[in-house]
Amino acid sequence: ARRVNTTTPEVATMESAPLPQAAAPFEQDLNGHSAPPGENGMGSGVPEIPSLFLGNLDYGATPTDIQAIFEQPLQVPGLDMSQVQIAVERVDLKRGYCFVYLKQNFASIEERDLVYNYAQRISGMHIDRVSKQLRSEFAKGDGRVKRNQDHRRSGGEIEPCDTLFVVNYHVDRTRREDLEMLFKDYGRLVRVDMRRNYAFVHFEST
């Protein structure tokens, strides 16, 4: 994956894109699309769960607060999480959003799918000290993101991607049109989705 630093925002690709300067990746599916349970599995026969993007976080939220959402599951109607133990590998917390990586130690596909459904169902919930309305979305491609990350750290090449993650721009002065102007020379734009303090730039192709 690649990231470019412009004069104002910080930019990263979902996997990789042909932009000037290389840096760390953005690894989430920011269109709200998620792979269905039981697809693209690896290893022991139990499909992996993709890393999670959590948005709309309170600025005071801590990694411990985020981790507790999974290791001490919330009450979600229709889901019995009492017999499931969710282990968090790490939480990469930024200002207003984070990436959550779960340990892939599921005893069965049913347990994995229960955790998968839980991660989807907490989206939109109010969680004390975390978010007034949590946004929870999966990465593309089940375990592929983490494997790409490991591959990148070892010096390997990562496949191009058609979506950029943009952060650290001035929230009061930056408009959608500014981002469109900044990125229009890199390919045909489909749309720019702006959030509170980050944005997603979608290209027609890689």
pLDDT at 205: 81
| 111 contact partners, CB below 8 Å, separation of at least 6 | 84
Domain 52-141 falls under CATH 3.30.70.330: yes
3-state DSSP of the chain: CCEEECCCCEEEECCCCCCCCCCCCCCCCCCCCCCCCCCCCCCCCCCCCCCEEEECCCCCCCHHHHHHHHHCCCCCCCCCCCCCCCCEEEEEECCCEEEEEECCCCCCHHHHHHHHHHHHHCCCCCECCCECCCEEEECCCCCHHHHHHHHHHCCCCCCCCCEEEEECCCCCCCCHHHHHHHHHHHCCEEEEEECCCEEEEEECCC
| CA–CA separation, 201 and 184 (whole Å) | 10
Query: Can you read off the two tokens belonging to residue 99?
Result: 């990436």
pTM (two decimals): 0.57
pLDDT at 50: 87
Q: Does 52-141 match 3-25+158-203 at the fold level?
A: yes
Per-residue pLDDT of 82-100, as tens digits, reads 989 999 999 999 888 999 9
pLDDT at 147: 57
Residue segments in the chain with a per-residue pLDDT below the cut of 70? 1-44, 139-159
CB of 34 closer than 8 Å to CB of 120: yes
pLDDT at 79: 94
pLDDT at 148: 56
Give the domain ranges of the chain. 3-25+158-203, 52-141
Per-residue pLDDT of 133-173, as tens digits, reads 999 998 654 445 555 555 555 666 666 778 888 888 888 88
Query: Can you read off the two tokens belonging to residue 23?
Result: 């840096």
pLDDT at 197: 81
| CA–CA separation, 122 and 72 (whole Å) | 13
What amino acid is encoded at 34 in this protein?
S
Question: In CATH, what is the architecture of 3-25+158-203?
Answer: 2-Layer Sandwich (3.30)
